Amino acid sequence: MKFGGTSMAGTERIRRVARIVQRQQAAGHEVAVVVSAMSGETDRLVNFCREADPLYDPAEYDVVVAAGEQVTSGLLAMHLQAIGAKARSWLGWQLPVRTDDAHAKARIEGIDSDALLASMAAGEIAVIPGFQGVTAGGRITTLGRGGSDTSAVAVAAAIGADRCDIYTDVDGVYTTDPRIVAKARKLKYVTYEEMLELASVGSKVLQTRSVSLAMKEKVRVQVLSSFIDDDAPAADTIPGTMIVSDEELEGIDMERQLITGIAADKNEAKITLTRIADRPGAVAQIFGPLAAANINVDMIIQNIAKDKGETDVTFTVPGADLARTQALLESQKEAIGYYRMISDGKVAKISVVGVGMKSHAGVAATMFRSLADRGINIQAISTSEIKVSVLIDADETELAVRVLHSAYELDASDEAA
Amino acid sequence: MKFGGTSMAGTERIRRVARIVQRQQAAGHEVAVVVSAMSGETDRLVNFCREADPLYDPAEYDVVVAAGEQVTSGLLAMHLQAIGAKARSWLGWQLPVRTDDAHAKARIEGIDSDALLASMAAGEIAVIPGFQGVTAGGRITTLGRGGSDTSAVAVAAAIGADRCDIYTDVDGVYTTDPRIVAKARKLKYVTYEEMLELASVGSKVLQTRSVSLAMKEKVRVQVLSSFIDDDAPAADTIPGTMIVSDEELEGIDMERQLITGIAADKNEAKITLTRIADRPGAVAQIFGPLAAANINVDMIIQNIAKDKGETDVTFTVPGADLARTQALLESQKEAIGYYRMISDGKVAKISVVGVGMKSHAGVAATMFRSLADRGINIQAISTSEIKVSVLIDADETELAVRVLHSAYELDASDEAA
């Protein structure tokens, strides 16, 4: 079980978490719990680091910020004891959660589970601070922001858990953002691949990295709400969304929908460089420097070469990196040899995602036609095996999502809603 | 060097501490720094523990509260790096600071100094969170409130430091509380024994335990202010008060004053049990149960037995324990066999302390006469080799301290002041 910062924010909420955890134990499960820091705490600690030294030493940063989860792990163990459960905390260096040396963005190399399994078999609930680990040299590391989801999946894999339940402030994964489409449906199942595509286009229910790890380690992950009624009887029914492999889902749900969900991401910016010489290496001239500057380029569209041996190149970058990208390309104008740079920060990427589309043609066609019918102009297109994305004017985001949600028949029927 | 919570409270203050530390390194010293949590932080964490479980598990309490010093140790290392010094943090479990298993009040068994000495020899400033250690079983411990002073002395002993500088919010040890006597003088030197007596009677500049450890390990401790001008040139003069052994002081200061200081403690309460049978074991009947209840009895006076084979017993306990003591003695009334219990929470203990009194008679006589001359009634007396204490009405505390400060000629001359 994993609980995020909102669920751990203060005594009353941690008490509630303790009851939810105890219910699972009462239902016959051996339980390990991974916790985040109280919401706001990591930001507070990160601020202290930035004030101390703008170029702070990531090894010391890890010492400071890991303290947030250390506190909540000890507190949850106490809360569990207070209601009669056996519990103890296991810090990253105590298990240990072994990571590489990449401080502030460490990768988990392994988790020693012997002590943990023995403790759990003896009826103790193991409480583990997320986000933290330890290097071979014995220094504290952290996994990067949102790393607690990854910690939870890694612990689940290490102990061979039946399930990794991730409690969040939403009660599952929806066909689309319910704030945009009132008739959005909660999905019972979603595959790892779909979840990855949904996460990468803005449905930030889980950290992408945790989903990749779950897929690799074959950990069944459930997303569910921590704000459920904690006095309800424990049950092994699935109140949230279960993230499983494509194979497992085949066995469960033969009549799957073509499209699983629709995601929107407004945090993109579009840049077009015009009249670039249509010669080998020209595109590398653009994207090499961007990669070196750690700017993540997403969609790339190269228009058909014009008569004069020139071409336009359009691509998207995270909105937060737009200014930096512009400055960088401006400085490279001669080397790249473009005529004009045209930027647009007011774009949105709309994606339809579904494993089902692998075997069905016409998904993209339905998308383009539905949008065109409502006068929504498509500025760029990209596709993967289980996703079609288009770039549109940001002002049309909500309209586009609603149009597509209906077009793919995802709207909940009145009875089901 | 050790810095308390007030010195570590926020970015600006930690930055100031970093400059003070760097100056010592620039003056040619190898430096280890022990830090407290930001002031208020430990209280905040302790409150979370109490809210979690009034009977909290001390092992989990240690996990939670040790986080406060972990944060400041990482931050100070960053601040030092920001001004160009080499620095790194060493957590209690990393050195390790080995302690017993008495969670929340652990005792240090030893500190492995090899890695620390190697790091310091390489020019790195070692930053060590105070208050924390680790058991042989690898669980976090804390030393009890105020334990960072003890951590600092223990680290100084482990690395064979020339000096342990404890930075506080006062600039040294005074002949008495300067808020009571404007002409109180800052002492250049004080012996361990004097410091222990002064600490035990209310001059809480240092934690008593840290002074005992310094005496045992022969660590020279200096008390000085962290609010000095941090841009002043580094110098090896002594701006604070140096706590040394009796022998060292003999060599430095032959013409020592008879009396080193005068301390007042209002946190005492007096209890008298009247008409107790004057027989063997009667007193044990009183103090056995109090000891079992962990109530610290200080002064004990048994009056001369009266005609009828009965006696009155008067003693003092910490004011905070008065109600508990009364309830306990009430329940033991039959077993002890006293007639009445008379309590007084409005008493103060005034003590004159000085190693010099060992070789001079008349110290006590001067005290009694001076107080009598001003009409101050003495309710009880206790003495040790280097201390005479009297119990008086709490309302007369300040008057008594001023009278005695003058009587023993401790007032600073106008030039010296």
- Mean pLDDT over B169-193 rounds to 89
B393 beta partners: B347
The DSSP string of A342-368 is: EEEEEEEEEEEE-GGGGG-TTHHHHHH
> Quick check: A48 contacting B, CB < 8 Å?
yes
Instruction: Residues A261-407: name the CATH superfamily.
Output: VC0802-like (3.30.2130.10)
Q: What share of chain B is helix, strand, coil (3-state, %, to 5)?
A: 40, 25, 40
Q: pLDDT band at A360, cuts 50/70/90?
A: confident
Residue B90: its chain A contacts at CB < 8 A?
Answer: none
Question: Does the beta-carbon distance from B88 to A45 stay under 8 Å?
Answer: no
Confidence band for B237, pLDDT divided at 50, 70 and 90 = low
Cβ–Cβ gap B71/A89 under 8 Å: no
Q: Which residue of B has its CA nearest to A18?
A: B52
Percent helix, strand, coil in chain A, to 5, is: 40, 25, 40
Would the ipTM clear 0.85, i.e. be above it? no
Q: How many residue pairs bridge chain A and chain B with CB atoms within 8 Å of each other?
A: 116
CATH 3.30.2130.10 positions along chain A are 261-407
Residues B369-395 have a mean pLDDT of 91
Residue B131 has pLDDT above 80, yes or no: yes
B23 vs A: CB within 8 A: no
**Residue A374 — pLDDT band, cuts 50, 70, 90?**
very high
- What's the mean per-residue pLDDT of chain A? 90
CB atoms within 10 A of CB B362: 10
> Which residues fall within 8 angstroms of residue A123, CB to CB, at 6 or more apart?
A86
Which among A64, A77, A78 has the least Cβ separation from residue B71?
A: A64
Which residues does chain B have within 8 Å of residue A140's beta carbon, measured at their own beta carbons?
91
Q: What pLDDT is attached to residue A163?
A: 94
Q: What is the pLDDT of residue A202?
A: 58
Most confident of A356-370, B62-76, B176-190, B359-373: B62-76
For residue A9, list chain B residues with Cβ-Cβ distance below 8 A.
none
- What integer is the mean pLDDT of B61-85? 98
Summarize pLDDT for A147-187 with one digit per residue, the tens: 999 999 999 999 999 999 999 878 889 999 888 999 999 99
Is some CB atom of chain A closer than 8 A to the CB atom of B59?
A: yes
Q: What is the mean pLDDT of residues B188-205?
A: 81
Among residues A98, A206, A65, which one has the least CA distance to residue A149? A206
Chain B interface includes A237 (CB < 8 A): no
How far is A264 from A262, CA to CA, in rounded Å?
7
Residue B233 has pLDDT above 60, yes or no: no
Q: Is A66 helix (H, G, I), strand (E, B) or coil?
A: coil
Inter-helix orientation angle A397-407/A363-373, to 10°: 130
Q: Chain B: nearest CA to A157, how far in angstroms?
A: 24
Contact A52 B75 (CB under 8 A): yes
Please check whether the domain covering A2-250 is classified as CATH 1.20.1440.230.
no
Q: Inspect the interface and report whether the beta carbons of B81 and A53 lie closer than 8 Å.
A: yes
Cβ contact (<8 Å) for B63 and A94?
A: no
E-strand spans in A48-103?
A: 87-89, 97-99
Beta bridge partners of B276: B311
Per-residue confidence (pLDDT) for residue B211, from 0 to 100: 93
- Bigger pLDDT: A52 or B198? A52
- pLDDT of the residue at B415: 45
Q: Where, residue-wise, is CATH 3.40.1160.10 in chain A?
A: 2-250
Residues 126-155 of A with CB under 8 A from B: 138-140
Q: Cβ separation of A59 and B88 shorter than 8 Å?
A: yes
Predicted local confidence at residue A416, as pLDDT: 42
Residue range B364-372: average pLDDT?
92
pLDDT digit string, tens, across residues A242-271: 999 988 888 876 667 788 999 999 888 999
Do residues A275 and A354 make contact, with C-beta atoms less than 8 angstroms apart? Answer: no
Given an 8 Å threshold on Cβ–Cβ distance, is B140 in contact with A64?
A: no
Mean pLDDT of A199-215: 81
Nearest of B241, B236, B188, B184 to residue B211 by alpha carbon: B241
pLDDT confidence tier of residue A208, bands split at 50, 70 and 90: confident
Continuous segment of H or E residues that includes residue A116:
helix A114-121
Q: pLDDT tens digits, residue range A314-349?
A: 999 999 999 999 999 999 998 888 999 999 999 999
Contact status of A53 with chain B (Cβ, < 8 Å): yes
- Structure confidence at residue A258 (pLDDT): 81
Report the candidate in A306, A315, A307 with the shortest Cα–Cα distance to residue A379: A315
Q: Once rounded to an integer, what is the mean pLDDT over residues B192-220? A: 86
pLDDT band at residue A229, thresholds of 50, 70 and 90? Answer: low
> A332 touching B, CB under 8 A?
no
* pLDDT of res. B416: 42
Q: What average pLDDT does the segment A350-365 reach?
A: 85
Q: So what's the architecture of B2-251 in CATH?
A: 3-Layer(aba) Sandwich (3.40)
pLDDT in tens, A21-60: 999 999 999 999 999 999 999 999 999 999 999 999 999 9
Ramachandran quadrant class, A171 (left: phi over 0; alpha: psi -120 to 50; beta: rest) = alpha
Query: pLDDT, tens digit, for every residue of B270-296?
Result: 999 998 887 777 778 888 889 888 888
Shortest distance, CA B338 to any CA of chain A (angstroms)? 41
The pLDDT tens digits for B301-344 are 877 666 677 888 899 999 999 999 999 999 999 888 899 999 99
Mutate to test the interface with B, among A21, A51, A83, A142 (most CBs of B within 10 A): A51
Determine what percent of chain B is predicted with pLDDT higher than 70. 93
Report for A16-20, B146-150, B179-183: range of highest mean pLDDT: A16-20
Mean residue pLDDT across chain B? 90
Round to whole Å and give the CA distance between A76 and B112: 32
Q: What is the mean pLDDT of residues A226-237?
A: 58
- In whole angstroms, what separates CA A11 from the centre of its chain? 27
Provide the pLDDT for residue A356: 81
Contact B70 A74 (CB under 8 A): no
B22 CB burial (10 A radius; 0-12, 13-18, 19+): buried
Q: Has residue A85 got a pLDDT over 50? A: yes
Which residues on chain A are in Cβ contact (under 8 Å) with B138? Answer: 94
- Name the residue among A45, A56, A74 with its Cβ closest to that of B64: A74
Min Cα distance B372 → chain A (Å) is: 56
Cβ distance of B63 and A48 shorter than 8 Å: no
User: What tokens does A325 get?
Assistant: 């990208």
- The residues that bridge with B174 in the sheet, in sequence order, are B186
Q: What is the pLDDT of residue A49?
A: 97
Percentage above 90 pLDDT, chain B? 67
Residue B159 forms contact with A (CB below 8 Å): no
The per-residue pLDDT for range A307-318, each reduced to its tens digit, is: 677 888 899 999
Contact: A51, B91; criterion CB under 8 Å:
no
B74, closest residue in chain A (CA to CA): A60
- Token readout for B243 is 């706590």
pLDDT single digits (tens) A95-145: 999 999 999 999 999 999 999 999 999 999 999 999 999 999 999 999 987
Report whether pLDDT(A238) > 80.
no
Q: Does B263 touch chain A (CB under 8 A)?
A: no
Provide, as residue numbers in chain B, all residues whose Cβ is less than 8 Å from the Cβ of A71. 45, 48, 63-64, 67
